[in-house]
Structure 1
Amino acid sequence: MEKFRTATYEVHNPKIKKSVRFAVLADLHGSIFGEENNTLLKKIQEYAPDAILLAGDMVVRMDPSTLETARKLLCTLAKNFPIFYAMGNHETKMKAKEHIYRNEYLEYQAELKQKGICFLANEKNKVVLAGNSFVVNGLELPLEYYHKPFSPKLTSEKMEELMGKPDPEAINILLAHNPKYGRTYFRWGADLILSGHYHGGVLRFSRHVGAISSQFIPFPKYCCGDFYKNGKCMIVSAGLGEHTVPLRIHNPRELIFIEMKP
Protein backbone atom coordinates (compact mmCIF):
# COMPACT_ATOMS: atom_id res chain seq x y z
CA MET A 1 0.00 0.00 0.00
CA GLU A 2 1.21 3.51 -0.81
CA LYS A 3 2.08 5.69 2.18
CA PHE A 4 2.17 9.42 2.81
CA ARG A 5 2.90 11.80 5.66
CA THR A 6 1.11 14.96 6.73
CA ALA A 7 2.90 18.32 6.88
CA THR A 8 1.14 21.00 8.92
CA TYR A 9 1.85 24.73 8.65
CA GLU A 10 0.62 27.64 10.74
CA VAL A 11 0.37 30.87 8.76
CA HIS A 12 -0.36 34.23 10.37
CA ASN A 13 -1.99 37.10 8.50
CA PRO A 14 -3.43 40.37 9.87
CA LYS A 15 -6.45 40.10 7.54
CA ILE A 16 -7.60 36.91 9.28
CA LYS A 17 -10.35 37.48 11.87
CA LYS A 18 -10.87 33.87 12.92
CA SER A 19 -8.71 30.82 12.29
CA VAL A 20 -9.42 28.88 9.11
CA ARG A 21 -8.12 25.46 8.06
CA PHE A 22 -7.18 24.14 4.62
CA ALA A 23 -6.18 20.77 3.25
CA VAL A 24 -3.92 21.04 0.20
CA LEU A 25 -3.52 18.26 -2.37
CA ALA A 26 -0.98 18.41 -5.18
CA ASP A 27 0.38 15.93 -7.71
CA LEU A 28 -1.86 13.02 -6.82
CA HIS A 29 -1.13 11.50 -10.26
CA GLY A 30 -3.59 8.68 -9.67
CA SER A 31 -2.00 7.40 -6.44
CA ILE A 32 -4.22 5.33 -4.16
CA PHE A 33 -3.80 5.16 -0.39
CA GLY A 34 -5.80 2.30 1.02
CA GLU A 35 -8.87 0.72 -0.56
CA GLU A 36 -10.79 3.38 -2.52
CA ASN A 37 -8.33 5.93 -1.09
CA ASN A 38 -9.90 5.49 2.34
CA THR A 39 -6.64 6.20 4.19
CA LEU A 40 -6.30 9.57 2.49
CA LEU A 41 -9.99 10.36 2.88
CA LYS A 42 -9.95 9.54 6.59
CA LYS A 43 -6.96 11.77 7.27
CA ILE A 44 -8.61 14.73 5.52
CA GLN A 45 -11.94 14.15 7.26
CA GLU A 46 -10.24 13.97 10.66
CA TYR A 47 -8.62 17.37 10.08
CA ALA A 48 -12.03 18.83 9.10
CA PRO A 49 -10.77 21.66 6.86
CA ASP A 50 -12.92 24.65 5.98
CA ALA A 51 -11.95 24.07 2.34
CA ILE A 52 -9.77 21.83 0.18
CA LEU A 53 -7.33 23.42 -2.27
CA LEU A 54 -5.97 21.48 -5.25
CA ALA A 55 -2.66 22.73 -6.66
CA GLY A 56 -2.83 20.72 -9.90
CA ASP A 57 -1.81 17.40 -11.47
CA MET A 58 -4.44 15.16 -9.92
CA VAL A 59 -4.06 13.00 -13.04
CA VAL A 60 -1.45 11.68 -15.49
CA ARG A 61 -2.01 12.98 -19.00
CA MET A 62 -1.38 9.66 -20.80
CA ASP A 63 -3.16 7.42 -18.28
CA PRO A 64 -6.96 7.84 -18.39
CA SER A 65 -7.39 5.47 -15.43
CA THR A 66 -6.04 8.26 -13.21
CA LEU A 67 -9.12 10.32 -14.10
CA GLU A 68 -11.31 7.72 -12.42
CA THR A 69 -9.09 7.58 -9.33
CA ALA A 70 -9.21 11.35 -8.91
CA ARG A 71 -12.91 11.50 -9.72
CA LYS A 72 -13.87 9.03 -6.99
CA LEU A 73 -11.71 10.77 -4.39
CA LEU A 74 -12.88 14.29 -5.20
CA CYS A 75 -16.56 13.41 -5.54
CA THR A 76 -16.45 11.86 -2.08
CA LEU A 77 -14.70 14.89 -0.58
CA ALA A 78 -17.09 17.29 -2.31
CA LYS A 79 -19.97 15.91 -0.24
CA ASN A 80 -18.52 17.57 2.86
CA PHE A 81 -16.06 20.28 1.81
CA PRO A 82 -15.83 23.14 -0.70
CA ILE A 83 -13.07 22.33 -3.20
CA PHE A 84 -11.08 24.69 -5.43
CA TYR A 85 -9.16 23.09 -8.30
CA ALA A 86 -6.33 24.81 -10.20
CA MET A 87 -4.74 23.38 -13.33
CA GLY A 88 -1.41 21.58 -13.43
CA ASN A 89 0.47 20.90 -16.63
CA HIS A 90 -1.16 17.45 -16.92
CA GLU A 91 -4.69 18.89 -16.86
CA THR A 92 -3.72 21.60 -19.32
CA LYS A 93 -2.24 19.04 -21.72
CA MET A 94 -5.18 16.67 -21.38
CA LYS A 95 -7.80 19.25 -22.26
CA ALA A 96 -5.90 20.49 -25.34
CA LYS A 97 -7.82 19.98 -28.59
CA GLU A 98 -5.30 17.55 -30.05
CA HIS A 99 -4.98 15.32 -26.98
CA ILE A 100 -6.03 11.69 -27.36
CA TYR A 101 -7.90 11.69 -24.03
CA ARG A 102 -9.47 15.15 -24.30
CA ASN A 103 -13.05 13.87 -24.25
CA GLU A 104 -12.39 11.73 -21.20
CA TYR A 105 -10.88 14.72 -19.40
CA LEU A 106 -13.79 17.00 -20.30
CA GLU A 107 -16.24 14.40 -18.97
CA TYR A 108 -14.23 14.20 -15.75
CA GLN A 109 -14.23 17.98 -15.39
CA ALA A 110 -17.95 18.27 -16.13
CA GLU A 111 -18.85 15.71 -13.48
CA LEU A 112 -16.69 17.37 -10.84
CA LYS A 113 -18.23 20.74 -11.62
CA GLN A 114 -21.66 19.18 -11.26
CA LYS A 115 -20.63 18.03 -7.77
CA GLY A 116 -19.82 21.63 -6.86
CA ILE A 117 -16.04 21.63 -7.35
CA CYS A 118 -14.78 25.03 -8.50
CA PHE A 119 -12.30 24.82 -11.40
CA LEU A 120 -10.09 27.89 -11.72
CA ALA A 121 -8.27 28.31 -15.04
CA ASN A 122 -6.90 31.86 -14.77
CA GLU A 123 -10.04 32.61 -12.81
CA LYS A 124 -10.86 33.65 -9.27
CA ASN A 125 -13.62 32.89 -6.81
CA LYS A 126 -14.73 34.92 -3.80
CA VAL A 127 -15.70 32.90 -0.76
CA VAL A 128 -16.30 33.51 2.95
CA LEU A 129 -14.72 30.91 5.24
CA ALA A 130 -15.04 31.07 9.03
CA GLY A 131 -16.09 34.70 8.69
CA ASN A 132 -13.08 35.66 6.56
CA SER A 133 -13.31 37.05 3.02
CA PHE A 134 -11.07 35.10 0.64
CA VAL A 135 -10.38 35.26 -3.07
CA VAL A 136 -9.06 31.96 -4.41
CA ASN A 137 -7.05 32.54 -7.60
CA GLY A 138 -6.20 29.65 -9.89
CA LEU A 139 -3.28 30.25 -12.27
CA GLU A 140 -3.09 28.21 -15.47
CA LEU A 141 0.26 28.82 -17.15
CA PRO A 142 0.66 28.26 -20.90
CA LEU A 143 2.59 25.04 -21.52
CA GLU A 144 5.67 26.89 -22.73
CA TYR A 145 6.31 27.77 -19.07
CA TYR A 146 6.86 24.04 -18.39
CA HIS A 147 9.45 23.47 -21.14
CA LYS A 148 12.54 21.46 -20.18
CA PRO A 149 15.10 22.69 -19.34
CA PHE A 150 14.44 26.22 -20.59
CA SER A 151 11.20 28.12 -20.22
CA PRO A 152 10.45 31.82 -20.55
CA LYS A 153 10.56 34.27 -17.69
CA LEU A 154 7.18 34.97 -16.14
CA THR A 155 7.01 38.76 -15.93
CA SER A 156 4.74 40.71 -13.61
CA GLU A 157 2.99 42.07 -16.70
CA LYS A 158 2.25 38.56 -17.99
CA MET A 159 1.07 37.51 -14.53
CA GLU A 160 -1.42 40.39 -14.44
CA GLU A 161 -2.51 39.60 -17.99
CA LEU A 162 -3.34 36.06 -16.89
CA MET A 163 -4.78 36.76 -13.43
CA GLY A 164 -5.58 40.45 -13.14
CA LYS A 165 -4.68 42.00 -9.78
CA PRO A 166 -5.30 40.64 -6.29
CA ASP A 167 -8.17 42.05 -4.23
CA PRO A 168 -6.66 44.42 -1.63
CA GLU A 169 -9.64 43.99 0.71
CA ALA A 170 -9.62 40.17 0.76
CA ILE A 171 -7.20 37.43 1.74
CA ASN A 172 -5.78 36.28 -1.60
CA ILE A 173 -4.84 32.64 -2.13
CA LEU A 174 -2.94 31.83 -5.32
CA LEU A 175 -2.96 28.23 -6.55
CA ALA A 176 0.02 28.15 -8.92
CA HIS A 177 1.19 24.67 -9.85
CA ASN A 178 4.70 25.54 -11.04
CA PRO A 179 6.85 26.98 -8.20
CA LYS A 180 9.62 28.04 -10.58
CA TYR A 181 8.06 31.49 -10.72
CA GLY A 182 7.82 32.06 -6.98
CA ARG A 183 9.43 35.49 -7.16
CA THR A 184 6.73 36.67 -9.57
CA TYR A 185 3.99 35.22 -7.39
CA PHE A 186 5.33 37.10 -4.37
CA ARG A 187 5.49 40.35 -6.37
CA TRP A 188 1.92 39.80 -7.57
CA GLY A 189 0.82 40.06 -3.97
CA ALA A 190 -0.99 36.88 -2.89
CA ASP A 191 -1.17 36.36 0.87
CA LEU A 192 -0.79 32.59 0.49
CA ILE A 193 0.75 30.84 -2.53
CA LEU A 194 0.39 27.08 -2.99
CA SER A 195 2.41 25.07 -5.51
CA GLY A 196 3.62 21.53 -6.27
CA HIS A 197 5.05 20.14 -9.53
CA TYR A 198 8.61 19.41 -8.29
CA HIS A 199 7.70 16.27 -6.31
CA GLY A 200 10.00 17.41 -3.52
CA GLY A 201 13.02 17.49 -5.82
CA VAL A 202 13.12 13.64 -6.06
CA LEU A 203 16.09 13.46 -3.65
CA ARG A 204 15.35 15.69 -0.68
CA PHE A 205 18.14 17.05 1.50
CA SER A 206 16.15 19.16 3.95
CA ARG A 207 12.84 20.91 4.49
CA HIS A 208 13.54 23.33 1.63
CA VAL A 209 16.20 21.69 -0.51
CA GLY A 210 15.69 19.06 -3.21
CA ALA A 211 18.03 17.84 -5.92
CA ILE A 212 16.21 18.68 -9.15
CA SER A 213 13.04 20.21 -10.49
CA SER A 214 10.63 18.68 -12.99
CA GLN A 215 12.23 20.95 -15.59
CA PHE A 216 15.72 19.57 -14.90
CA ILE A 217 16.90 22.58 -12.91
CA PRO A 218 19.32 21.45 -10.16
CA PHE A 219 18.62 22.64 -6.61
CA PRO A 220 15.63 24.82 -7.55
CA LYS A 221 14.97 27.84 -5.33
CA TYR A 222 11.36 27.09 -4.35
CA CYS A 223 11.60 23.32 -4.22
CA CYS A 224 9.63 22.23 -1.16
CA GLY A 225 8.41 23.52 2.18
CA ASP A 226 7.52 27.05 3.26
CA PHE A 227 8.96 30.38 2.15
CA TYR A 228 8.21 33.91 3.37
CA LYS A 229 8.63 37.39 1.95
CA ASN A 230 7.17 40.74 3.06
CA GLY A 231 4.50 39.09 5.16
CA LYS A 232 3.45 36.71 2.37
CA CYS A 233 3.79 32.92 2.51
CA MET A 234 4.47 30.34 -0.22
CA ILE A 235 4.13 26.62 0.50
CA VAL A 236 5.34 24.03 -2.00
CA SER A 237 4.06 20.49 -1.61
CA ALA A 238 6.26 17.47 -2.25
CA GLY A 239 3.12 15.92 -3.73
CA LEU A 240 1.09 12.80 -3.14
CA GLY A 241 2.31 10.91 -6.18
CA GLU A 242 4.64 10.77 -9.14
CA HIS A 243 4.67 9.43 -12.69
CA THR A 244 7.00 7.95 -15.30
CA VAL A 245 9.94 7.63 -12.87
CA PRO A 246 8.42 6.73 -9.47
CA LEU A 247 11.52 7.67 -7.48
CA ARG A 248 11.64 9.38 -4.07
CA ILE A 249 14.66 9.43 -1.76
CA HIS A 250 14.28 10.87 1.77
CA ASN A 251 11.23 12.50 0.27
CA PRO A 252 7.90 11.03 1.40
CA ARG A 253 4.64 11.77 -0.35
CA GLU A 254 2.76 14.41 1.60
CA LEU A 255 -0.65 15.80 2.37
CA ILE A 256 -0.51 19.41 3.56
CA PHE A 257 -2.65 21.02 6.23
CA ILE A 258 -2.61 24.77 6.79
CA GLU A 259 -4.12 26.78 9.62
CA MET A 260 -4.31 30.50 8.93
CA LYS A 261 -4.51 32.60 12.09
CA PRO A 262 -4.71 36.30 13.01
Structure 2
Amino acid sequence: MKKLVKLMVFIIALYIFLEINNQWLVVTEHVLESEKIPSSFNNYRITQVTDLHDATFGDNQQKLIEKVRATNPDAIFITGDLIDSNRYDLENSLHAVEAFVKIADVYYVLGNHEVAINKMDEIYIALIELGVHVLPNESLVLERDGERLAIVGIEDPLMGMETEEMLNIALANVPDDMFTLLLSHRPERFDTYVAKDVDLVFSGHAHGGQVRLPFIGGLVAPGQGMFPKYTAGTFTENDTTMVVSRGLGNSIVPYRLFNLPEIVVMELKSK
Protein backbone atom coordinates (compact mmCIF):
# COMPACT_ATOMS: atom_id res chain seq x y z
CA MET A 1 0.00 0.00 0.00
CA LYS A 2 2.79 2.42 0.91
CA LYS A 3 4.51 1.70 -2.42
CA LEU A 4 1.30 2.47 -4.29
CA VAL A 5 0.87 5.77 -2.42
CA LYS A 6 4.49 6.73 -3.14
CA LEU A 7 4.00 5.89 -6.81
CA MET A 8 0.86 8.01 -6.99
CA VAL A 9 2.60 10.92 -5.25
CA PHE A 10 5.52 10.62 -7.68
CA ILE A 11 3.21 10.59 -10.70
CA ILE A 12 1.28 13.62 -9.44
CA ALA A 13 4.51 15.49 -8.66
CA LEU A 14 5.90 14.65 -12.11
CA TYR A 15 2.72 15.86 -13.78
CA ILE A 16 2.82 19.15 -11.87
CA PHE A 17 6.52 19.57 -12.71
CA LEU A 18 5.89 19.01 -16.41
CA GLU A 19 2.92 21.36 -16.43
CA ILE A 20 4.96 24.11 -14.78
CA ASN A 21 7.73 23.60 -17.34
CA ASN A 22 5.25 24.05 -20.17
CA GLN A 23 2.73 26.60 -18.86
CA TRP A 24 4.71 29.09 -16.76
CA LEU A 25 5.25 32.02 -19.11
CA VAL A 26 8.35 34.12 -18.52
CA VAL A 27 9.51 37.39 -20.04
CA THR A 28 13.16 37.92 -20.90
CA GLU A 29 14.29 41.50 -21.52
CA HIS A 30 17.26 42.60 -23.62
CA VAL A 31 18.66 46.00 -24.53
CA LEU A 32 20.56 46.87 -27.69
CA GLU A 33 22.55 50.08 -27.94
CA SER A 34 23.75 51.34 -31.30
CA GLU A 35 24.80 54.58 -32.91
CA LYS A 36 22.75 53.53 -35.94
CA ILE A 37 19.49 53.58 -33.98
CA PRO A 38 17.77 56.91 -34.69
CA SER A 39 17.24 59.05 -31.59
CA SER A 40 13.49 59.13 -32.24
CA PHE A 41 13.45 55.33 -31.76
CA ASN A 42 15.26 55.49 -28.44
CA ASN A 43 13.44 53.24 -25.92
CA TYR A 44 11.49 51.58 -28.74
CA ARG A 45 10.25 48.26 -27.35
CA ILE A 46 9.75 45.13 -29.43
CA THR A 47 8.01 42.08 -27.99
CA GLN A 48 8.75 38.80 -29.77
CA VAL A 49 6.34 35.87 -29.81
CA THR A 50 7.45 32.71 -31.57
CA ASP A 51 6.77 28.99 -31.95
CA LEU A 52 3.32 28.98 -30.40
CA HIS A 53 2.59 25.68 -32.16
CA ASP A 54 -1.12 25.93 -31.33
CA ALA A 55 -0.37 25.78 -27.61
CA THR A 56 -2.99 27.27 -25.29
CA PHE A 57 -2.28 29.65 -22.43
CA GLY A 58 -5.55 30.29 -20.62
CA ASP A 59 -9.04 30.67 -22.04
CA ASN A 60 -8.74 32.15 -25.53
CA GLN A 61 -5.02 32.70 -24.83
CA GLN A 62 -5.71 35.25 -22.10
CA LYS A 63 -2.58 34.42 -20.07
CA LEU A 64 -0.40 34.98 -23.13
CA ILE A 65 -2.26 38.13 -24.14
CA GLU A 66 -1.92 39.71 -20.70
CA LYS A 67 1.78 38.85 -20.51
CA VAL A 68 2.38 40.51 -23.87
CA ARG A 69 0.27 43.53 -22.94
CA ALA A 70 2.28 44.00 -19.74
CA THR A 71 5.51 44.34 -21.73
CA ASN A 72 4.19 47.66 -23.12
CA PRO A 73 5.44 47.05 -26.67
CA ASP A 74 5.71 49.52 -29.54
CA ALA A 75 5.72 46.54 -31.90
CA ILE A 76 5.06 42.81 -31.69
CA PHE A 77 7.09 40.41 -33.85
CA ILE A 78 5.75 36.92 -34.56
CA THR A 79 8.62 34.87 -35.94
CA GLY A 80 6.98 31.73 -37.26
CA ASP A 81 5.37 28.42 -36.29
CA LEU A 82 2.25 30.15 -35.11
CA ILE A 83 0.57 26.80 -35.77
CA ASP A 84 1.69 23.18 -35.65
CA SER A 85 1.55 20.97 -38.71
CA ASN A 86 0.66 17.92 -36.59
CA ARG A 87 -2.48 19.45 -35.01
CA TYR A 88 -3.46 22.41 -37.14
CA ASP A 89 -5.78 24.76 -35.23
CA LEU A 90 -5.38 28.25 -36.65
CA GLU A 91 -8.38 29.67 -34.76
CA ASN A 92 -6.77 28.78 -31.44
CA SER A 93 -3.65 30.78 -32.29
CA LEU A 94 -5.62 33.65 -33.83
CA HIS A 95 -7.26 34.36 -30.46
CA ALA A 96 -3.89 35.74 -29.39
CA VAL A 97 -3.24 37.65 -32.61
CA GLU A 98 -6.67 39.31 -32.50
CA ALA A 99 -5.68 40.82 -29.16
CA PHE A 100 -2.10 41.61 -30.17
CA VAL A 101 -3.17 43.95 -32.98
CA LYS A 102 -5.06 46.03 -30.41
CA ILE A 103 -1.91 46.36 -28.31
CA ALA A 104 0.65 47.38 -30.95
CA ASP A 105 1.59 46.98 -34.60
CA VAL A 106 2.15 43.29 -35.34
CA TYR A 107 4.66 41.92 -37.86
CA TYR A 108 4.80 38.29 -38.98
CA VAL A 109 6.95 35.82 -40.87
CA LEU A 110 6.11 32.17 -41.30
CA GLY A 111 8.06 29.18 -40.02
CA ASN A 112 8.66 25.69 -41.27
CA HIS A 113 5.39 24.33 -39.86
CA GLU A 114 3.24 26.73 -41.88
CA VAL A 115 5.07 25.57 -44.98
CA ALA A 116 5.00 21.88 -44.04
CA ILE A 117 1.21 21.83 -43.78
CA ASN A 118 0.87 23.94 -46.96
CA LYS A 119 -1.47 26.46 -45.34
CA MET A 120 0.55 29.59 -46.06
CA ASP A 121 -2.11 31.37 -48.12
CA GLU A 122 -4.86 30.67 -45.59
CA ILE A 123 -2.69 31.92 -42.74
CA TYR A 124 -1.50 35.00 -44.63
CA ILE A 125 -5.08 35.98 -45.53
CA ALA A 126 -6.33 35.49 -41.97
CA LEU A 127 -3.51 37.60 -40.51
CA ILE A 128 -3.81 40.37 -43.08
CA GLU A 129 -7.56 40.60 -42.39
CA LEU A 130 -6.73 41.14 -38.72
CA GLY A 131 -4.34 43.97 -39.61
CA VAL A 132 -1.03 42.13 -39.24
CA HIS A 133 1.92 43.28 -41.35
CA VAL A 134 2.92 40.10 -43.19
CA LEU A 135 6.49 40.17 -44.55
CA PRO A 136 7.12 37.45 -47.19
CA ASN A 137 10.62 38.52 -48.26
CA GLU A 138 9.62 42.15 -47.90
CA SER A 139 10.55 45.24 -45.95
CA LEU A 140 8.73 48.16 -44.38
CA VAL A 141 10.19 51.49 -43.34
CA LEU A 142 9.05 53.07 -40.08
CA GLU A 143 9.37 56.82 -39.65
CA ARG A 144 9.40 58.93 -36.51
CA ASP A 145 10.13 62.65 -36.52
CA GLY A 146 11.74 62.35 -39.92
CA GLU A 147 14.03 59.47 -38.86
CA ARG A 148 13.65 55.96 -40.20
CA LEU A 149 14.46 52.31 -39.64
CA ALA A 150 13.55 49.18 -41.59
CA ILE A 151 11.64 46.07 -40.57
CA VAL A 152 12.46 43.16 -42.85
CA GLY A 153 11.00 39.68 -43.00
CA ILE A 154 11.98 36.53 -44.87
CA GLU A 155 10.13 33.26 -45.35
CA ASP A 156 11.34 29.82 -44.37
CA PRO A 157 13.83 27.99 -46.62
CA LEU A 158 11.26 25.21 -47.02
CA MET A 159 9.60 27.58 -49.49
CA GLY A 160 12.38 26.57 -51.90
CA MET A 161 14.64 29.62 -51.81
CA GLU A 162 18.03 30.01 -50.16
CA THR A 163 18.21 32.37 -47.19
CA GLU A 164 20.68 34.62 -49.01
CA GLU A 165 18.38 34.90 -52.00
CA MET A 166 15.40 35.79 -49.83
CA LEU A 167 17.44 38.40 -47.97
CA ASN A 168 18.59 39.95 -51.25
CA ILE A 169 14.97 40.38 -52.27
CA ALA A 170 13.82 41.68 -48.90
CA LEU A 171 16.70 44.14 -48.52
CA ALA A 172 16.63 45.42 -52.10
CA ASN A 173 15.04 48.76 -51.21
CA VAL A 174 16.66 49.23 -47.79
CA PRO A 175 19.54 51.75 -47.72
CA ASP A 176 22.83 50.33 -46.43
CA ASP A 177 23.07 52.88 -43.63
CA MET A 178 19.54 52.30 -42.30
CA PHE A 179 19.17 50.39 -39.04
CA THR A 180 17.54 47.09 -39.97
CA LEU A 181 15.42 44.70 -37.91
CA LEU A 182 15.03 41.23 -39.42
CA LEU A 183 12.36 38.65 -38.63
CA SER A 184 13.60 35.20 -39.62
CA HIS A 185 12.49 31.91 -38.14
CA ARG A 186 15.82 30.06 -38.32
CA PRO A 187 18.76 30.98 -36.07
CA GLU A 188 21.12 28.47 -37.70
CA ARG A 189 21.40 30.85 -40.67
CA PHE A 190 23.19 33.42 -38.53
CA ASP A 191 26.27 33.49 -40.77
CA THR A 192 24.10 34.66 -43.66
CA TYR A 193 22.56 37.45 -41.59
CA VAL A 194 26.06 38.56 -40.60
CA ALA A 195 27.25 38.49 -44.23
CA LYS A 196 24.33 40.73 -45.20
CA ASP A 197 25.14 43.23 -42.41
CA VAL A 198 21.72 42.99 -40.78
CA ASP A 199 21.75 44.93 -37.53
CA LEU A 200 19.30 43.00 -35.35
CA VAL A 201 17.71 39.60 -36.01
CA PHE A 202 14.74 38.01 -34.22
CA SER A 203 14.58 34.23 -34.46
CA GLY A 204 13.13 31.14 -32.80
CA HIS A 205 12.74 27.58 -34.15
CA ALA A 206 15.15 25.93 -31.68
CA HIS A 207 12.61 25.63 -28.81
CA GLY A 208 15.40 26.48 -26.40
CA GLY A 209 16.98 23.11 -27.10
CA GLN A 210 13.82 21.42 -25.69
CA VAL A 211 15.71 20.24 -22.59
CA ARG A 212 18.12 22.70 -20.95
CA LEU A 213 20.88 21.74 -18.54
CA PRO A 214 23.04 24.01 -16.35
CA PHE A 215 26.35 25.02 -17.97
CA ILE A 216 25.35 23.11 -21.13
CA GLY A 217 22.22 24.80 -22.44
CA GLY A 218 19.87 23.16 -24.91
CA LEU A 219 20.32 19.54 -25.88
CA VAL A 220 18.87 19.35 -29.38
CA ALA A 221 17.39 21.69 -31.98
CA PRO A 222 16.05 21.28 -35.52
CA GLY A 223 18.62 22.26 -38.10
CA GLN A 224 21.41 22.19 -35.52
CA GLY A 225 21.34 18.68 -34.05
CA MET A 226 22.76 17.80 -30.64
CA PHE A 227 24.19 20.49 -28.34
CA PRO A 228 23.13 23.34 -30.65
CA LYS A 229 24.81 26.71 -30.53
CA TYR A 230 21.80 28.95 -31.06
CA THR A 231 18.97 28.08 -28.67
CA ALA A 232 18.37 31.13 -26.47
CA GLY A 233 19.72 34.58 -25.73
CA THR A 234 21.71 37.00 -27.86
CA PHE A 235 24.60 36.38 -30.22
CA THR A 236 26.79 39.07 -31.77
CA GLU A 237 29.26 38.90 -34.63
CA ASN A 238 30.70 41.96 -36.35
CA ASP A 239 27.83 44.47 -36.32
CA THR A 240 25.02 41.89 -36.29
CA THR A 241 23.13 40.84 -33.15
CA MET A 242 20.65 37.96 -33.13
CA VAL A 243 18.18 37.31 -30.34
CA VAL A 244 16.82 33.76 -30.16
CA SER A 245 13.64 33.13 -28.21
CA ARG A 246 13.00 29.77 -26.58
CA GLY A 247 9.46 30.10 -27.89
CA LEU A 248 6.16 29.04 -26.38
CA GLY A 249 4.95 25.67 -27.58
CA ASN A 250 6.11 22.22 -28.55
CA SER A 251 5.77 20.02 -31.60
CA ILE A 252 6.97 16.42 -31.90
CA VAL A 253 8.31 16.29 -28.33
CA PRO A 254 5.34 17.26 -26.13
CA TYR A 255 7.24 18.57 -23.10
CA ARG A 256 10.02 20.99 -22.23
CA LEU A 257 12.36 20.44 -19.29
CA PHE A 258 14.02 23.31 -17.39
CA ASN A 259 12.98 25.43 -20.36
CA LEU A 260 10.03 27.68 -19.54
CA PRO A 261 7.97 29.17 -22.40
CA GLU A 262 9.44 32.55 -23.20
CA ILE A 263 8.34 35.95 -24.45
CA VAL A 264 11.27 38.15 -25.47
CA VAL A 265 11.43 41.93 -25.19
CA MET A 266 14.12 43.95 -26.95
CA GLU A 267 14.49 47.64 -26.15
CA LEU A 268 16.43 49.82 -28.56
CA LYS A 269 18.77 52.47 -27.20
CA SER A 270 20.24 55.23 -29.32
CA LYS A 271 23.83 56.15 -28.42
**With structure 1 as the length reference, what TM-score do the two structures score?**
0.84
- Give SS of 1:250's match: coil
When residues 129 and 111 of structure 1 are mapped into structure 2, their CA distance, relative to the original with a 3 A threshold, is farther
Which structure has the bigger radius of gyration? 2
**TM-aligned CA deviation for residue 253 of structure 1:** 1.0
**1:124 equivalent in alignment to 2:139:** yes
Equivalences, count: 245
- Supply the distance in 1 between the matched residues of 2:70 and 2:239 (Cα, whole angstroms): 30
Q: Does 1:57 align with 2:78?
A: no
Match of 2:257 among 217, 226, 249: 249
Distance in 1 of aligned mates of 2:215 and 2:181: 22
Q: Distance in 2 between the 1:144 and 1:244 partners?
A: 21
The CA distance in 2 between the partners of 1:240 and 1:186, in whole Å, is: 26
Compared CA separation, residues 19 and 117, structure 1 to 2 (3 A): same
Runs (4 or more) in structure 1 with deviation over 4 Å come to 129-132, 159-162
CA-CA distance at 1:29 after TM superposition: 0.6
Q: 1:132 to 1:52 in 2, by over 3 A?
A: farther
**2:163·2:192 contact (CA, 8 Å) conserved in 1?**
yes
Say whether 1:80 aligns with 2:103. yes
Q: State the distance in 1 between where 2:188 and 2:247 align.
A: 15
Shift of 1:244: 2.1
Unaligned runs of 5+ in 1: 97-101, 146-151
Q: How does 1:196-207 map to 2 (within 5 A)?
A: 196-205=204-213
Matching of residue 28 in structure 1 with residue 43 in structure 2: no
Q: Distance in 2 between matches of 1:246 and 1:226?
A: 26
The Cα RMSD (Å) is 2.4
Give me the whole-angstrom Cα distance separating, in 1, the residues matched to 2:145 and 2:225: 40
Counterpart amino acid of 2:31?
A: E
Q: Identity over the aligned pairs, expressed in percent?
A: 30
Unaligned runs of 5+ in 2: 1-18
| Distance in 1 of aligned mates of 2:242 and 2:203 | 8
Aligned to 1:133: 148
